[in-house]
């Protein structure tokens, strides 16, 4: 359960965002907060109530959301006074608070480092308080701490072991691109991390295609060739369906994009590229194993 301590931390972040120094504008406004909540599915009737009754003053309304008072009034008031909040009202309040946190933290982290009294300091305290409550903030969501993020180290070990078991002739090349992507990511070389992630995927595709010819008597594919026709060829020889070929092609296009992805930080783009490459390469390798077990018959 999101605690009163965490509610206070959320209030502190909002007060910093809404704070207006003399002759300056606030970092954020109640109207912007309201619009962001609405875009994330927050009940417009609740937003109207918070604005009309509390003038958007989070210090006043957050505790009453936490204890269920506001959800009880908005959803169960039949004109006979304020109903006492019950467990369902408190549950709704918890959902409201979680959604507010999910909107506020990215906003607090979005400002340039030179901003005085940076709100990220307060949002970090908010995340720390969430963790004490048994939650975490992962992928922009408030989640139970029992839900763990993907262990990339184990996934890396698994995918490399899986590819080795297939025994492509270019295993050293595949390993090299994989390791270079890891190294570039660790050293902040975001562009290199993304390009090497793509090379890891393409190297695996080339290696698997040669294995198909060597062990499955699949017609030889002339390599090296452009990556696009190689992906098309896997559909021709029976590994991919049309839909699967298109999916692999889309991932390859994303990994091949050399410039910045609009709206995504460079370091996040590199991390996502590695995740895409690992996930897609693992899927291809697993499907290849089954393809070979089926005598390289088309799916």
The number of domains in the chain is 2
123 located within any domain: yes
Same domain, residue pair 191 and 59: no
- Alpha carbon distances (Å) from 73 to 47, 130, 193: 13, 27, 53
pTM: 0.53
Host domain of residue 84: 4-144
Same domain, residue pair 166 and 287: yes
Same domain, residue pair 163 and 240: yes
Domain boundary among 144, 161, 195: 144
98 located within any domain: yes
Residue 35 and residue 9: Cα distance in Å, rounded? 21
Domain boundary among 144, 174, 191: 144
- Alpha carbon distances (Å) from 277 to 60, 174, 263: 47, 12, 20
Same domain, residue pair 140 and 159: no
Kindly give the confidence (pLDDT) of every residue in the chain, 299 residues in length, as a single tens digit, with 9 standing for 90 and above: 999 999 999 999 999 999 987 777 899 999 999 999 999 899 999 999 999 999 999 999 999 999 999 999 999 988 777 899 999 999 999 999 999 999 999 999 999 888 889 999 999 999 999 999 999 887 788 888 765 555 666 777 889 999 999 999 999 999 999 999 888 877 777 778 788 889 999 999 999 999 999 999 899 988 767 888 999 999 999 999 999 999 999 999 888 875 666 777 777 777 788 888 889 999 999 999 999 988 999 88
User: 242 exposed, middle or buried (CB, 10 Å; 0-12, 13-18, 19+)?
Assistant: exposed
Pairing of strands 135-138, 141-144: antiparallel
Domain boundary among 123, 144, 165: 144
């Amino acid at each position: 359960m999101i605690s009163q301590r965490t509610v206070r931390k959320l209030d502190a972040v909002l007060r910093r965002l809404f704070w207006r120094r003399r002759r300056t504008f606030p970092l954020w406004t109640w109207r912007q907060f309201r619009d962001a909540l609405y875009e994330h599915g927050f009940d417009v009737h609740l937003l109207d109530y918070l604005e009309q009754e509390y003038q958007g003053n989070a210090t006043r309304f957050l505790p009453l959301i936490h204890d269920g008072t506001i959800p009880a009034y908005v959803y169960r008031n039949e004109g006979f006074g304020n109903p006492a909040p019950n467990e369902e009202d408190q549950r709704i309040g918890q959902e409201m608070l979680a959604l507010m946190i999910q909107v506020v933290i990215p906003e607090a982290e979005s400002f340039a480092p030179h901003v005085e009294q940076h709100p990220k300091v307060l949002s970090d305290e908010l995340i720390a308080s969430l963790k004490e409550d048994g939650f975490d903030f992962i992928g922009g969501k408030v989640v139970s701490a029992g839900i763990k993020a993907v262990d990339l180290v184990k996934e890396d070990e698994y995918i490399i072991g899986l590819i080795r078991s297939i025994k492509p002739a270019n295993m050293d090349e595949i390993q090299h691109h994989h390791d270079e992507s890891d190294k570039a990511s660790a050293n902040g070389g975001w562009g290199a991390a993304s390009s090497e992630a793509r090379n890891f995927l393409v190297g695996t595709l080339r290696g698997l295609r040669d294995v198909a010819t060597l062990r499955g008597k699949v017609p030889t594919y002339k390599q090296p060739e452009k990556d696009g026709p190689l992906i098309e060829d896997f559909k021709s020889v029976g590994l991919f369906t049309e839909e699967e070929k298109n999916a692999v092609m889309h991932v390859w296009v994303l990994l091949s994009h050399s410039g910045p992805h609009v709206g995504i930080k460079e370091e996040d783009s590199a991390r996502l590229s590695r995740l895409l490459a690992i996930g897609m390469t693992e899927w291809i390798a697993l499907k290849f194993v089954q393809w070979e077990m089926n005598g390289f018959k088309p799916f």
